[in-house]
Amino acid sequence: MTNTLHRYGRPTSLRDDFIVFAIPTRANREGSGPKLQAFLEIAAKYGPVNMGGGGKGGFYRPSERLTPLVHWRERAAVTPAEVIEGCNNAGTVAAVFSAPSAATR
């Protein structure tokens, strides 16, 4: 794993991944929750492979059944709407795209 909300895989499969962050500053932190949710709503339209916030997580959430073997089996994921709903406070949010064309639209 190379960054927050990034994904696992061989380096060649991750080569074109792009992570886009939205981070409120001290000056605009208060009331930034809805703006960060708006950022994630926009990002969701472009098919991120993962997105979410530092406090609540992304598409793939921790659970007791997760072990190192999780990378070789299907994981239950939450929906983009659930991720967006959970990111309602000030903090860092991010979206991970698997191709530069998705991240630069």
As beta bridge partners, residue 21 has: 94
Q: Where are the domains of the chain?
A: 11-99
As a dihedral over the C-alpha atoms of residue 17, residue 70, residue 44, residue 16, rounded to 10 degrees, the angle is: 10
pLDDT tens-digit map of 10-61: 777 777 788 889 999 989 889 899 999 999 999 999 988 888 887 777 776 6
3-class secondary-structure state, position 14: helix
What is the Cα–Cα distance from 6 to 32, expressed in whole angstroms? Answer: 23
* pTM listed for this prediction: 0.74
